[in-house]
Amino acid sequence: MSRYKTEQEAFWAGDFGNDYIDRNAGDELVAANLALFAKVLARTRNVGSVLEFGSNRGLNLIALKQLLPKAGLSAIEINQKAVAELNKLGYIEKIYPQSILDFTPDFQRDLAFIKGVMIHLNPEVLPEVYDLLYQSSKRYILVMEYYNPTPVELAYRGHTGKLFKRDFAGELMDRFPDLQLLDYGFCYDRDYTFPNGDGTWFLMEKR
């Protein structure tokens, strides 16, 4: 019997998650993340600590290290092969080798973010993830996922129950009225210079 609460967690902790790590690597992906996070961080001030929910091998954190060289970077990651890659980076302040759903916030960071992860979670656990993001943030929350105004499910590489689109940021702001939308944008996968997976990003601030 799986030790995880949902089938989606076991899916990403296992062989499919391992294969994903191998498929997603390289300087071009880091460059696209640099372009994205430069836009996002331009709307922030004094970000000295960052926590990523579901960091995989750390491509987002590699970009953030260049943009915020003095910031303390931390990561939550369920896949142990990805955790090994994170450890190789040598500058991740704290790595939580566990499911997001098993995570307990120990202290708040200036920025808590999640990118391309909530789309792969069981929709029933989203309220719990929203709460964890909120509790982990001292000031800013960044969500970058596939957007749809209403919840929909899509096939994902031949699998069902593994990809969901909805208004994640809107649901988060409805749940926590003190969150204010600072900025948002779209990354187009056919961008000539910085393709980045057709995700829509939303930067929110606690007020």
Give the pLDDT confidence score for residue 1 in this predicted structure: 37
The CATH class of the 7-206 domain is alpha beta
Distance set, CA 119 to CA 98, 134, 193 (Å): 18, 18, 25
Distance set, CA 8 to CA 55, 59, 99, 160 (Å): 16, 22, 11, 10
In the chain, what are the domain boundaries?
7-206
* pTM greater than 0.85: yes
pLDDT tens track of the chain, all 207 residues?
A: 358 899 999 989 988 888 888 887 778 899 999 999 999 999 999 999 999 999 999 999 999 999 999 999 999 999 999 999 999 999 999 999 999 999 999 999 999 999 999 999 999 999 999 999 999 999 999 999 999 999 999 999 888 899 999 999 999 999 999 999 999 999 999 999 998 888 999 999 999
